[in-house]
Amino acid sequence: MDSGAKHLVELKARYEDLGKARALLSGAERVGSFLQVDTYFSLGERRLKLRAVEGAKEGQLIYYERPDTSAVKESRVLLASLPDAATVREILGQVLPVKAEVRKTREVYRLHGVQIHLDVVTGLGKFL
């Protein structure tokens, strides 16, 4: 998993017809499909989450800054690879309140240097 600072531009949109989205991505490289669990910790206005992937011991700790908007947004992201995500989650849970836990199935595609995610988020719906 990558570590370090990144600058991202992203757009998230509800999109119920993921079959149609897959058809539109027929020329894209399919990177893979994963069950992800993101645990969000309360830090006031700041954002910190731990990302775990089912079946993997490793994970990522992700700190990010971005505006609360449904429009296209820029994010400044700091990533740290974790050799043992479950233990780090347990430690953080002892010192920081857990704000939310989000479970999603994520399909990742790459097309013309752009990474595209098709997400099915438990309790929230389908997104790209």
Looking at residue 62, its amino acid is I
Extents of the domains making up the chain:
4-127
Q: How far is CA 82 from CA 2, 87, 93, in A?
A: 10, 9, 16
Q: What is the dihedral of CA 78, 12, 49, 44, to 10 degrees?
A: 90
Return the pLDDT at 2.
52
The residue with tokens 């731990």 is: 50
- Residue 8: pLDDT above 80? no
At the second CATH level, the architecture of 4-127 is Beta Barrel (2.40)
Q: What is the distance between the alpha carbons of residues 12 and 118, in angstroms, rounded to a whole number?
A: 10
Across all residues in the chain, what is the average pLDDT?
Answer: 92
Tokens of 121: 């988020």
Return the pLDDT at 93.
96
The pLDDT-based confidence of 90 (bands split at 50, 70, 90) is very high
**pTM of the entire predicted model:** 0.84
Top-confidence residue, 12 or 72:
12
